[in-house]
Amino acid sequence: MKNALFRFKQFQIDQSKSAMKIGTDGVLLGAWTSVNCKPKTILDIGSGTGLIALMLAQRTASPIIKAIEIEEDAAAEAAANFKDSPWSDRLELIHADILNYTQKSIETFDLIVSNPPFFTAPFKVSEDSRSTARDNNHIPYEDLFSCVDQLLNATGSFSMVCPFEYQNKLVALGLEHHLHLAQELHVRGTLTSPFKRILMRFEKTKSSLKTEELILEESRHQRTSEHQQLVKDFYL
């Protein structure tokens, strides 16, 4: 199957069965997420094939990295990708719904990340699993933030990526759940294109907001130097 195996410098991803394949959003989030706090416990919500969890395993010495995925095929592939990685002893895949997991969980995390499902346009999707993976009605942002509020420890941080137009709504939603925006990265494809994505880092304590911008390409298939620097430890 075309694009079934995606190779990075230190690991590879089998995505032959998963509905949602590796994309720029996930790679950016995995590379951009701050690990300055040296997290000992990490949670990846909606892990898909396990990409972001694997990137954070490469970037940190965290002994506990858990990834939650509800879609069966993606969960199975993520578990296999973890097993085949150099960090299999630190990675755990949980096949579950995040709401049910949160209700039962007694632990909190230093770092939570999520590349949450969303529709970027009102198009129809034929495969049920792809619809599950990208339909925000399945994991409403309100539920995601409620879970993060409960699962994030007092000094931890939560990083996510979403469409740029959701920025104001998510900042307000964060405040409703005791989460303050601390850092944001505005992402556009080229110098002249509009912003399409925003990466956001929330914390439970308010601090000065750090805002940055990233242009992905100088020309078609030619990454900018800033983009190259961000992902240099991962792409071959």
pLDDT at 63: 98
Render pLDDT for 195-218 as a digit per residue (tens, 0 to 9).
999 999 999 999 999 999 999 999
pLDDT value at position 30? 98
What is the predicted pLDDT for the residue at 128?
A: 52
8 A C-beta contact, residue 82 and residue 91: yes
Tell me which residues of the chain have a pLDDT lower than 50. 119-126, 129-137
Element (H, E) at 106: none
Whole-structure pTM value = 0.91
Q: How far is it, in rounded angstroms, from Cα 82 to Cα 48?
A: 12
Domains in the chain with CATH codes: 5-115+122-231 (3.40.50.150)
Give me the pLDDT at residue 53, please.
98
Show Cβ contacts of residue 61 under 8 Å, excluding neighbours closer than 6 positions: 38
How far is Cα 161 from Cα 165, in angstroms, rounded to an integer? 12
What is the token pair recorded at 56? 């954070």
